[in-house]
């Protein structure tokens, strides 16, 4: 039996903190360890190979910290790396550990929010080009129309603190216009990138009245709560002292200064040098 350890929560940068915040609200008793790969973010425009390689390296780091369960709180990593890690890597490097993503839990329920049966997905280039959302949603809601719009500049705008600026309005308007040109009866928009909740106020200004905007935090948190109930063998490997630890692959000062806007509280991070991690394969 494995020693109990924290639940790992991963993102390319800060976006996963919007998910961690909701997970902690629903499941406060567990220990959590967050890693932002800020030194190599954004992942959104990178190739499958690169996102997979970076994500696997970070997952191995979580395992070295004693995590038995890791949540990829990043749509891009979930879209481009999760399946390969689950199917090819885990059986070899850590058969008793689990890595979960954010796309499937979202796909499982998104159709329930729409009356017109027409949903828009806003995400990074990587997530959109992987086609993961249309494929996953089709399994649960076969008749649902799914329209995607890649918003490659939104993550840089957010990470550079420009998400409240007039410059951000230009790109939000442009991408929403393009989305509604594809599907004019869309009545639900999924923010399919964990950074995007920071732009929610701006998005609301430019969508037709009555369109619902859905962030993933609560959905992922609820799905994790259900998962832990259904998998006591994993749940018993998750320690429960209410600890939260934060790590970044880049400057801790930058991380701490930015993290508050995503997490809603002050954060004190430590630096991780991924170069120091020996590849397990």
Mark 48-87 with x for binding to ligand DGL (rule: CB under 6 A) and - for no binding.
Answer: --------------------------xxx-----------
26 Cβ contact list (under 8 Å, min separation 6):
218, 221, 222, 224, 225
Task: Pick the binder of ligand DGL from 5, 8, 11, 107 (CB under 6 A).
Answer: 11
197 contributes a contact to ligand DGL by CB under 6 A: no
Considering the candidates 74, 151, 237, 238, report the single residue annotated as catalytic. Answer: 74
Residue 151 bears catalytic tag: no
Q: Which segment (5-13, 84-92, 132-140, 243-251) binds ligand DGL by CB under 6 A? A: 5-13
Q: Which two tokens stand for residue 204?
A: 């609301």
Cβ–Cβ under 8 Å, residues 120 and 183 = yes
Considering the candidates 67, 151, 193, 238, report the single residue annotated as catalytic. Answer: 193
193 contributes a contact to ligand DGL by CB under 6 A: yes
Query: Hunting for tokens 């993933």 — which residue is that?
Result: 216
CA distance 30 to 109: 25
Q: Which is nearer to ligand DGL, 42 or 217 (CB)?
A: 42
Q: Which is nearer to ligand DGL, 61 or 196 (CB)?
A: 196
Restricted to residues 83-142, the positions that interact with ligand DGL (CB under 6 A) are: 124, 127
Task: Pick the binder of ligand DGL from 5, 10, 12, 106 (CB under 6 A).
Answer: 12
Q: Residue 49 Cβ, how far from ligand DGL at the closest point, in Å?
A: 16
15 contributes a contact to ligand DGL by CB under 6 A: yes
Residue 58 bears catalytic tag: no
Task: Pick the binder of ligand DGL from 30, 35, 41, 71 (CB under 6 A).
Answer: 41
Question: What is the set of active-site residues?
Answer: 74, 193
Sites of contact with ligand DGL (CB under 6 A)? 11-13, 15, 41-44, 74-76, 124, 127, 155, 193-195
């Amino acid at each position: 039996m494995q020693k109990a350890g924290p639940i790992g929560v991963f993102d390319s940068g800060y976006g996963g903190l919007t998910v961690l915040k909701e997970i902690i609200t629903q499941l406060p008793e567990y220990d959590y360890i967050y890693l932002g790969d800020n030194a190599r973010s954004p992942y959104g425009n990178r190739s499958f190979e690169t996102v997979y390689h970076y994500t696997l390296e970070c997952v191995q780091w979580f395992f070295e910290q004693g995590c038995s369960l890791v949540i990829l709180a990043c749509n891009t990593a979930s879209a481009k790396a999760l399946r390969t890690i689950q199917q090819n890597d885990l059986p070899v490097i850590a058969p008793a550990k689990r890595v979960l993503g954010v796309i499937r839990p979202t796909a499982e329920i998104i159709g329930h929010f729409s009356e017109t049966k027409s949903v828009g997905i806003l995400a990074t280039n990587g997530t959109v080009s992987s086609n993961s959302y249309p494929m996953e949603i089709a399994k649960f809601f076969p008749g649902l129309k799914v329209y995607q719009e890649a918003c490659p500049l939104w993550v840089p705008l957010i990470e550079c603190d420009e998400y409240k600026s007039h410059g951000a309005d230009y790109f939000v308007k442009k991408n929403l216009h393009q989305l509604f040109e594809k599907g004019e009866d869309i009545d639900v928009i999924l923010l399919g990138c964990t950074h995007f909740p920071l732009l929610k106020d701006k998005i609301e200004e430019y969508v037709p009245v009555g369109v619902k905007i859905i962030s993933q935090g609560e959905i992922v948190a609820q799905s994790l709560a259900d998962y832990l109930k259904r998998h006591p063998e994993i749940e018993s490997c998750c320690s429960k002292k209410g600890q939260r630890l934060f790590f970044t692959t880049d400057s801790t000062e930058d991380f701490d200064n930015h993290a508050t806007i995503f997490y809603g509280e002050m954060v004190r991070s430590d630096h991780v040098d991924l170069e120091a991690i020996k590849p397990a394969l």
